[in-house]
Structure 1
């Protein structure tokens, strides 16, 4: 475990918001000719596995010697990481590669490393699984360059392969070649402002071209005689190195020489603030699909809006304006006009408190049907309200966090250059939103008649963090066995517990105390009957799981297209970066509107069926699209991904389930709030 990771986790988490404010075009680093650029090595990753590994801990890598110094960087030193970087499996170390600004090196010797039989076996497994390395120069990941389909533009894909698997013509045998030579192309442009006038330059591109070169045919300095025309690569078998190899496979070794070339090339017309554009060319080509997703979402939301408008403008308004819709039969003796005026209901239901037994006697209603029949029970506290209140409070906390992340990302404050920023800033926003979580949770809890508000505060503060921490800790036991950098260091886990105990919990407590003691419960226009009304048998579409599936399908269709890009960035292009947050923000806004409308329609239909148990139902209807999203994840796993291995599959499904649960909690809260506002409106 890196000492820097342990010591700085809490500090970087608390300062995450401060570090996040990167202003494109301003926060740049410029270099003079002859100045050393540090090359940082991070990790290796694969689209066939959820396990990542620190680059310096791989069996074929030369350990850094500490001979390279560049400012505050010394080769072999591990960089302190923020919380997001640690959680995403980063382990960044300064390497021995020497890059001097403006100085080209056609060939330079790095080191020779002896690898034993177990190391060779492990290296072959990594190559077979398609692992790619992530190196960093000036905060830019080393990239493999490609051409667009029409050959008109070049674009980058972050990372480069560590080796190549060559299968025989018969397909029954494979050879594995390690890339032991890299050609590094550093692209630069003139620095903006005064730095440019002083001859300084900024890095706008970092390309890596790996190559496999046999161990023989080298000069006394370890350099190949001809680095451009290579006949044989470095095969990962002891017999490929006749001077070092032994016949006994158990004790065999292979000496691997590493070399590299460096070229600096100027790029005209590319400003530093636009240097990440090369990584996004492939996503830019799919802009029309993003617009299709938005149009699809708007059409669905528009149709739902029409349905809700009909319900509100025609059905409910017609019921409310109907004379005598809920007028009691007190006596068949005619009343004077003045008395009638005095007793005329001031609202939909009149003075319910003055007629306490009105709603408990259905025979006292004049042709009342549908949703009006349950007016005396509609605000009855639900069963297990002590659980629903913390869920709603946690959902509001997540909603505030997600809104903050979307806003910051849409305005470019959060961007790929701030590595681990989304997780770090998201954690900070989540903790700060605990104040509002405790407030709303306590008010809802008191509205449901709860008495133990301190217990409610503790449950609210522990619900989401407890779920995440417990799941991650258990999964970590599997990942630790694999010696993967995906495993969260124990010091980081302690730091997360400290954040929860000393910051999150007190904030939730403060908000909870204020909401429960000082503000109090939400007031309802109607008091519940003493005796609950019997609920008739419900029709098939409004029953339990069927209702959830039907209700959740519509929001799922709204986000389905955009989900394809999110999934692709997360699991297929792990080296890629999802950056079209403008599109995501629009789709998210339409999603929220859709969930509100679906919940209103579902709640109205439920009340029309004389079922007043809408509290839990509205929450579950709002979050029901998470069922479809998890089903889509399962389908995506079996049809699009190539993940293999028990641990990787376990990580995929567990983290996917956690993400869907968090999403369901957030959208369920949106559904609950919209249904609550709707019910108050029609019965108020």
Structure 2
């Protein structure tokens, strides 16, 4: 593959080892002595049903310090929309505190209205203490009526009680309580009110080991409450897919066997006019497709995204993406995508060279922009929307500059190096049949053999194998659930690849049997059509399952899901095309072509 690609593989392995070592170092944890100051970081507030609509914690009129000190975070944490600032609460190690005042302030009518609006929208806050996440609601409200549509009273929690569990010199858990007696502030009416925001701290010894302090988050996930149903659904999908795959494989192999027998038995006595089906187009089946530079770019980008997915699964299976390892997934995605751009350049340029392409510079431009350009356009649009809403989802200008530098100084050079290695590898196409000078006319095909119906059929079967798992993934990303069964997800991913490859091969055979030799783009589109089904599921999930609302949340959901589904389209399209290419080469190599 060349030295540049070998260096790229070494770089990715170093990155992989770095993440593993980072997990091991974090497992050691922090140790404290009695009285050591431990900062409490306030993060953000957000409506519970709109996880992307996040705002700075002190956007609401809480007791803010005179100087807001922000914590410096890694790139992935910032991309995740986190904005940690030091809260004006003292939670020193092993120091109990009776109710102490944070500040006394007089809330104006406007500030009371803001708190009431936040409580009615189920706003919750997030904090971090010793890297442990803390969250809670800002208040509560009483309602009556058939659908709880009549609000009678709205209360704001004005006191927070911390119960901190510790084991020797380590912090194990943090529990907060806000709904305490005499700790509610009535904000039902728009009137000025004086409030004393306060807090208290109680330290409790426990025998829970430090290594298990994050288990409560996975145990509290609703995903585990129906784990038996989850496993049953996955096993049912696997069995159904295996039966379907085996059934189609048996039929396809028997048909191919009959074709081989008919084509090879007494071949000299067979009149040329009697030959029909896929053998009849052997002089056109390897004719280069239209827009071969774009096809090569799509295959190269899809190969890169496939490699990216494999490395992400490797990191997940070794435990890198544990609960609330903030920003680790996004950081890994950014860095691995940058390094694997060389794979995209190599795959695209080598395949383009096999198709006797000449303008390899244009091919690399297509490869570098085919996925990143729509992603950047979507990102800048959504970032503009977040800026208009003053949301923490809007990235600071410095972070935008860092992303741009990564793309220009790392992604692009690695892409070019991979392209040069692919161009210089000079691979040969190795077509088993000679291509004729003039293309054969494609016969008129029924409507169900055209591209769109074939794409619908090709996408339905892989989607039916993964749609159960999709719900759990969507719930973890858009509904505050926790997903940590990466082994099951990896199995489903393998099944998705197998079904996609097999369905694409089967449809390619039926297309060739109908004497339609333009299979190149068709196989790619059929393989990637599952991404379109997943995006259709997004509309169902948004309307029928979730309670998301508002322009910011809606644009973030459909915008980023469009990018993810587009990436799946490219990745699965590349998988389907390569499976079809191997199949077509095999069947035409097995017969004698004139």
TM-score of the superposition, structure 1-length normalised? 0.79
1:417 positional shift: 3.9
Q: CA deviation at 1:294?
A: 2.6
Q: Which residue of 1 aligns with 2:217?
A: 279
Give the alignment partner of residue 137 of structure 1, picking from 126, 129, 136: 129
Give the paired residue count.
571
1:619-653 superposed Cα distances (whole Å, 9 cap, x missing partner): 11111112221121111111111222223222222
TM-aligned CA deviation for residue 311 of structure 1 = 4.7
Whole-Å separation in 1 of the counterparts to 2:71 and 2:234: 41
DSSP 3-state at the match of 2:166: strand
Question: Take 2:44 and 2:502, find their aligned partners in 1: how far apart are those partners?
Answer: 45
Q: In the alignment, is residue 537 of structure 1 matched against residue 529 of structure 2? A: no
Partner in structure 2 of residue 320 of structure 1: 260
1:80 aligns with 2:72: yes
Instruction: Kindly state the Cα deviation for residue 15 of structure 1 after the two structures are TM-superposed.
Output: 7.9
3-state SS, counterpart of residue 38 of structure 2: strand
**Alignment match of 1:267 (pick from 160, 183, 206):** 206
Deviations 1:582-623 (A, max 9, x none): 111111111111111111111111111111111111111111
**In the alignment, which of 451, 454, 472 is matched to residue 565 of structure 1?**
472
| Pair 1:454 & 2:361 matched | yes
Matches of 1:121 and 1:391 in 2, distance apart?
A: 52
User: Are the equivalent residues in 1 in contact too, given 2:350–2:422 (CA < 8 A)?
Assistant: yes
* Superposed displacement of residue 92, structure 1: 0.8
Change (3 A) 1:129 1:17: farther
The verdict on how the C-alpha distance between 1:18 and 1:323 changes in structure 2, with shifts beyond 3 A counting, is closer
Deviates more, 1:309-318 or 1:173-182: 309-318
**How big is the shift at 1:174?**
4.5
1:592 pairs, out of 497, 500, 523, with: 497
Give 3-state SS (helix, strand or coil) of 1:204's partner.
strand
Instruction: State the match for 2:592 in structure 1.
Output: none
Q: Secondary structure at the match of 1:433?
A: helix
Which residue of structure 2 aligns with residue 53 of structure 1? Answer: 54
Does residue 309 (structure 1) correspond to residue 277 (structure 2)? The answer is no
Q: What residue in structure 1 maps to residue 108 of structure 2? A: 116
Report the alpha carbon displacement of residue 364 of structure 1 after superposing the two structures with TM. Answer: 6.6
Task: Give distance in 2, aligned partners of 1:326 and 1:427.
Answer: 59
Q: Tell me which of 565, 577, 589 is aligned to 2:482.
A: 577
Contact 1:304-1:598 within 8 A present in 2 as well: no
Match of 1:28 in 2: 29
Residues 349, 422 of structure 2: 8 Å contact kept: yes
In the aligned structure 1, how far is the partner of 2:551 from the partner of 2:54?
Answer: 17
Query: 1:504-552 CA distances to partner (integer Å, 9 max, x unpaired)?
Result: 1111111111111333343322232111111112233322211111211
The answer as to whether partners of 2:56 and 2:391 remain within 8 angstroms in 1 is no
Paired with 1:632 and 1:323, the residues of 2 have a C-alpha distance of 45
Distance 1:380 1:442 in 2: 19
Task: From the superposition, tell whether residues 16 and 125 of structure 1 become closer, same or farther in structure 2 (CA, over 3 Å).
Answer: farther
Match of 2:567 in 1: 662
The CA distance in 2 between the partners of 1:140 and 1:454, in whole Å, is 49
1:182 maps to what in 2?
Answer: 160
CA-based RMSD of the aligned residues comes to 2.4
What CA deviation, in whole Å up to 9, does each residue of 1:340-367 have, x standing for no partner? xxxxxxxxxxxxxxxxxxxxxxx97363
Tell me what 2:237 maps to: 297
Shift of 1:109: 1.3
Match of 2:170 among 202, 206, 216: 202
1:601 and 1:610 mapped to 2: Cα distance?
15
Query: Can you give the 5+ residue segments of structure 2 that lack an aligned partner in the other structure?
Result: 1-13, 590-594
Deviates more, 1:285-294 or 1:180-189: 285-294
Residue by residue, what CA displacement relative to the aligned partner does 1:382-427 show, whole Å, maximum 9, x if unpaired? Answer: 1122211111111111111111111110121222242111111111
Give 1 or 2: higher helix fraction.
2
Instruction: Give the deviation of 1:374 after TM superposition.
Output: 1.6
- Write the deviation string for residues 300-349 of structure 1: whole angstroms up to 9, x where unpaired: 331233235325532223322445469578xxxxxxxxxxxxxxxxxxxx
Distance (whole Å) between structure 1 residues aligned to residue 87 and residue 266 of structure 2: 79
CA contact (8 A) 2:289 2:521 kept: yes
- The answer to whether the 8 A contact 2:185-2:195 is kept is no
Return closer, same or farther for 1:316/1:257 CA change in 2, 3 Å cut-off.
same
The answer for the alignment partner of 1:356 in structure 2 is none
The reply to whether residue 104 of structure 1 matches residue 96 of structure 2 is yes
Question: Quick one: structure 1 residues 140 and 325, their matched pair in 2 at CA, closer, same or farther if it must change by over 3 Å?
Answer: farther
8 Å CA contact retained: 1:629, 1:660? yes
* Alpha-carbon shift at residue 41 of structure 1 (Å): 1.0
Corresponding position of 1:162: 138
Contact between 2:71 and 2:85, CA under 8 Å: does it hold in 1?
yes
Of stretches 17-26 and 607-616 in structure 1, the one that deviates more from structure 2 is 17-26
**Matches of 2:197 and 2:415 in 1, distance apart?**
55
SS where residue 600 of structure 1 aligns? Answer: helix
SS in structure 2 at match of 1:520: coil
Aligned partner of 1:72 in structure 2 is: none
Aligned partner of 1:510 in structure 2 is 417
Answer with 1 or 2: which has the greater Rg: 1
Determine the C-alpha separation between the residues in 2 that align with 1:306 and 1:39.
57
- Distance in 2, Cα, partners of 1:448 & 1:638: 45
Residue number in structure 2 paired with 1:39: 40
SS at match of 2:429: coil
Corresponding position of 2:551: 646
Report the CA distance between 1:501 and its aligned residue: 1.0
Distance 2:537 2:159 in 1: 41
Distance in structure 1 (CA, Å) of the matches to 2:396 and 2:268? 68
Deviation for aligned residue 1:236: 5.6
- 2:334 aligned partner: 427
8 A contact 1:304–1:597 mirrored in 2: no
Residue 18 of structure 2: aligned partner: 18
